[in-house]
Chain A
């Protein structure tokens, strides 16, 4: 079998900092090739070289035996290479068909041939078994999973023979991932070469036929998936074994910090549970089961309308983030860049954000403990003046945690703390959360990565369709959790 695309010795530096150093990669038709590596290993940059966004400093890009040089994304498109970027690249207020053909609209007698565009879009959607999507619908009206489908159709409509996907499941709920798997397999069977970038080992092993590992911008290894184990791949990625990924659990939880008694709103119903000081309580459930809605309700963004919420044994009314903070609740959002950090501001300003926003006078001005705060979460930065956008995902998340420590909360709500954080930094965050609990915090943790949730939590609450489906002790297995979450006692974990 011949290679459709070969990248040979690709090197790329930004402002003198090498990001890729002589990377080789070959893609074959009908193959799902997984590209893995820690954050900063150069996966996205390599993808952007393939997409024509960046020009390599050294090395060659060979497509079907001919060396090419892409000046812009449209050149890569013309060569049959389509990329699905990490963030969705759809225009919310245009229709499905307009998005699919963006930049390549068919023209007939001087104007865009909308009928042909919609017919072709319908055909493509149908060929993927997705005829439920109307080509004339505005994209803003579609669910995230369906947007992902549109994204893939958009890539395919350019007669792509190579499809590169950068973390395609990052925005998807657990239940929606299956849909993507099905699509990827169908495309592979059509003979399309697929480059699949992901952090999630299970996806990589479920889907790929070959795995290439990058580390620090350099090629480490490439081998058929069947010849590798998860442990081997992770070792290649981090360069050291991660035998103790999860810290040890607490010994004895303290008194009840947070309690819900029959609490509910229009997203969640009739929730009753307690979280104690020193505990990490995990919340599992499918997307839409009310996991994040539960945290946002406790935090007062969409408050509970029924039942009671008790803090340290006394009923409390939390009507918004401001009262929540004042009552000793902290919240780490799942959307770190969108709603967590002010990216252009310094580490200092982000760390002191909550304190400044919620207290007055001398308390609001207090900065003397800044170094102590940053040291307690072990942020690696050039200094308190560095803008947070220049930090890695893991360090950004530590700044978010430090911001909450600055106001000494009693309850910490944590939503997807390790999203977009590489394996090594994940371990540090797990350690940190556990230490915070040991210091007396009550932590309520939401994560869509089941191994992480189970590995870190003292107990796991499982939500299904807005209600509490069950509670599992530490060390429950993934199948039991999924069984409760889906309502099927035994089912294939999705």
Chain B
């Protein structure tokens, strides 16, 4: 089963280390494989369960990302992970 959703980074500081870790922690609570991709001039796709890879998205405020999950709990994973972005990771 696969699920995917487009999201926008809305917190002012973007996807810096702390939010990236929060994302990875949550992603790791699902059995599905999680990938995050960014389009634009330099498209990139990374493993949503690796902090180091997530940082290389260089996702600043306003960046559009696609969350994708593949596995038994794909839908729950995508919806919970998208909520994290919506909550701005508890930031402004």
Task: Decide whether A and B assemble into one complex.
Answer: no
Which residues of A approach B to under 8 Å, CB–CB?
none
Using a CB–CB cutoff of 8 Å, the interface residues on chain B facing chain A are none
